[in-house]
Chains A and B, each alone.
Chain A
Amino acid sequence: MVPARTGTTASERHPIVTTNLGLSRGAARLEGIRTTGTRRRARQDHPLWFLVPALIVLIVFFFVPTVFNFVYAFTDWSSFKSAINFVGFDNFVTLLNSGTLLTALRVTLVYAVLVAIFQNLFGLLLALLLERDTAVNRAVRVAFFVPVIMSALAVGYIFQALLKPDGALNGILSAVSGTTVDTAWLGDTTWTIVVVALIHSWKWMGLSMLIYLAGLKTIDQDMLEAARLDGAGYWATFFRIKFPLLAPAVTFNVATALLGSMNGFDVVQATTEGGPGGTTELLNIFIFRTFGQGLFAQATTMSLILFLVVAILAFPVIRFLRKREDVL
C-alpha cells in the first residue's frame, strides 16, 4: 500500500502510477511528473478482459446489493406480508419527520470524529515509540496489532466485562486507591460515547500504527541527518519534517478511521447496545433495531441515508487531506 521511495531522483522516488498512499495529482504536477501517456502500452500489457473476474465479484457482491439498497428504500418491504409494493418517497418522509434519525446521525458523527482522533493519535504515538527496528519493538508491534485481527464483538464483550461496575478495572482502581470504586464506565449518558470510541480506537490503533510506521520508513534518512546537522531537536524534526512527510499516511488513516467508524456497529452493540439512554445509538444500531422489528424497507432507507452521508462526507474530507500532500 505504501510506494517504495528509496531512490534518489524524483522520478525514481515517485512511480508514475499513483496509489492510495502515493502522490496526489497536484504533488505529481509540482514535481513535473507526467501522469499520462502510458495508455497504449498499458492496453497491450493488460488486456481489459483481465478485469472480468474481479468485475464479476465486484458486481455480484458490491454493486447489486447497493442497487438493491436503492430500490428497496422506495418499497414497503416488511416481514408482515409477502407482496412488495413501491411507495415512492414515503419512507424518507416518515424518517425525516421523526427526530430519531437525526439523533442517531448526530451520535454517529460524534463517534466517528472521536474514533478518527483517538485512533490516529494512538497509532502515531505507537509508531513513533516503536520506530526503531529492534527485536523488542518488533515483538511489541505484533502485540499491538493483535486486537486488529480479533473479532470486534469479542473485543466489545471483553471490555464490557472489564468496565462493569464490579468489573476488573474498578477492582484494580479500588486496590490502588484503597477506596471502593464502582464507576459505571458504560453507564454515563455524557461520557460513555467517549469510552466506546476509545475501545474502537484501541482495537484499530495497531493498523494505524502499521501504516504510520510504513510512512516513517519512507522518509529519507539523508533529510533527517541534514536536519540533525542543522541542529534540529526531536520535536522540531517531528513537526517540521516527519509529520509533513507522513501526509499520505495521515490521509489514509484519517479517512479510513472516520468513514469506517461511520459504519461502526459491532463494538458498540457488544458494549452498550446503544445505551445508556440512547446516547451511543449509532445509525447502524438503529438500523439493526428497525430491521429486527420487521420493517425491512425502513431499515433499507436508513442504510441508504447512511450511505449518502458517508459519501457526502468522504469527498471533502479526502479532498482536504489530499490537498495537504501537495507540499510533498
Chain B
Amino acid sequence: MKNALKGAVVLAVAATLTLAGCSDPGAGGGSSEPADWPAQDADLSGTSLTIWAAQNSNTVPDSVIAGFEELTGAEVEVVTIPDPYEQGVQTKVATGDKPDLAFWQPTASQLTALNAPSNLQPLDDAPWLDSYDPALRDITGLLDDTRYAALISTPAVEGVYYNKKVLADAGITELPTDWDSFIQTGRDLKAKGVTPFYEMGGDRWATQWWVQVQLADAAADGLWDRVNAGEETFTDPTIQGAIDTYDGLIQEGLFNSDIKTATFEDQGDALLAGDAAFVVQVGSFFGQLQAKADTAELNENIGFFPIAPSGNVGTFIPDQSNALVAFKTGDAAKEAGARQLLSYWLGDGYQDFVDDQATVSLQPDVTTPDSVPDALIASSDALADSVGSMQALAIANPDLYIFLADMIQGTKTPVEVAEATQAQFAELAKAQGAPGF
C-alpha cells in the first residue's frame, strides 16, 4: 500500500505542477487580422457549421439555414443548449468547447462574460451594416468600440402591455403619458375593483422591469456609467428609491393577490383574459401572448406603451434571441463560413427571415410583414428614442431579479435587495478588473 500511496502523491504533485502553469482552456485561438468577407453565395460544400441556440431560439434560424444550405452547399446544425442558456454556454466556452455561431445577448456585460476579445470574431467591417436603419445600427452589440454581435431582430423594449378592453370598460380613454399618471391610472382602476398590475413573483425574472423602467431618465443621464465606475451604488437614493417605490406599490395592494406564486404563463393568461390591466414586460412576453392568441385577437385586445418617469420613453434590453456572435475557433475555413452565413442572414436571406418569423425588420429596404401584431410594432417604434437597460449599459448583470423576488416573498427588505445587488455587482466588476472595485 505504501508504494501505491507514494505513487498517488507523485501523481498529485505532478497534477499540481501542471496546474501551476495552467492557462484558461477557454482562451481563444484564431488571429486578430482584419477579417475578409466572403460573398454570400461562395461555395461551402463540405463545410459544416454549428449554431448554439436556446430552447426559445432554436427554430429562429430555420428559414435562413434552409436558404443558406441550398445556396452554398454548407451543412448547418443547430444545437440546443438547455436553459439556463447563458450559464450553459459560458461553462462550455470556459472549458474550451465552442460553436461557430451562437445566439447571444449583444450587451456589453454579456459580451464581457464571454471574454469577447479573445473568443469572438470582430464584425467591424461587416457588409450588412449600411443596410441597418441608422437609428438602430449601433444601439448594441459593441464592446469597447469593437462590434462582436450581429443584431438580427429588434431588441426587446421594457414597457407596459395593457388590455384595451379593461381600460375601455373602466372608462379610461387616455393612455398614461408618464410614470405618475401611470400609477394614478392604476389607483383609479383599483378603486373600480380592477386589478391594475400583474407580476410573476413565482418565475422571478420579470421583477426587475418595474425597477428598471423607473431608472430610464437616470440611465439617459449616465447612471450606469457612474455605477460602472463605482461612483454610485445600488444603495444610493436613485436605485434604492426605485426599489422602495416598487415595494410600496406591492404593499399598497395594486398587484395581483397571487404575486408570490404567479408564473410567466399566468401573467400572459391574466392579461389576455382581462384579469389585470397592465403588465410591465419585455418582448418575450408578447411572444407568449402570440402563442395563446392570433394576430387579429391581439390587435383588438392588447396594446403597448413605453413608460419612464418623464414620459413615454422605453428601456431597451436586447436578449439572446436578438443577436448572434461568431466564435474564433482556430479553423479559418469555418470562421469564414460563419461570417458568410451572417452576411446571408442579414443580406439576401433577411426578407425570408422576417417573413418566416413575423418580426419587425431592422432594415428599411426589407419590409415588415403584415402578420406582425400592432403591439410589437409599437414596441419596435419605441426603440429609436429608448435608453439602455442595466443589462445593456452596466458592465455586469447582477441577480437583481432574484433579490426583488425575495423581497416579494418577504425574505429581504428593499434595503437588503440593494445591498445584495451591489455586493454582487462589485464582485463581478472586480473579477473583470474594472477600475474602482
Contact = CB atoms under 8 A, between A and B. Distances in A.
B411 A82 contact: no
Interface of B: 1, 3-4, 7-8, 11-12, 15-16, 19-20, 22-24, 26-28, 84, 86-87, 90-91, 93-94, 112-115, 118, 201-202, 204, 258, 260-261, 399, 402, 405-406, 408-412, 420, 423-424, 427-428, 431-433
Contacts of B424: 293
A276 B203 CA distance: 10
A134 interface: no
Nearest to B412: A277
A63 interface: yes
A79 B114 contact: yes
B100 to A, nearest CB: 20
A18 interface: no
Interface residues of A, number: 41
Interface of A: 48, 51, 55, 59, 63-64, 67-68, 71, 76-84, 94, 98, 100, 165, 184, 187, 189, 273, 275-279, 288-289, 291-298
29 contacts: A55-B4, A55-B7, A59-B11, A71-B16, A71-B19, A77-B24, A80-B112, A81-B115, A83-B23, A84-B22, A165-B258, A184-B258, A187-B261, A189-B410, A273-B204, A275-B202, A275-B406, A276-B201, A276-B405, A276-B409, A278-B406, A279-B409, A291-B91, A292-B86, A292-B87, A292-B90, A292-B91, A294-B431, A298-B431
Contacts of A294: 90, 94, 113, 428, 431
A76 B431 contact: yes
Q: What's the dominant secondary structure at chain B's contact region?
A: helix
B376 to A, nearest CB: 29
Given A79-B114, A80-B433, A63 B12 contact: yes
Contact of B8 (A63, A71, A276): A63
Given A184-B260, A295-B431, A80 B11 contact: no
Contacts of B23: 82-84
Given A63-B11, A98-B423, A291-B87, A79 B93 contact: yes
Contacts of B427: 94, 295, 298
Given A82-B115, A276-B405, 15 more contacts: A59-B8, A76-B431, A78-B432, A79-B114, A79-B115, A80-B431, A81-B432, A82-B23, A165-B258, A291-B87, A292-B84, A294-B428, A295-B431, A297-B431, A298-B431
B1 A275 contact: no
A295 B428 contact: yes
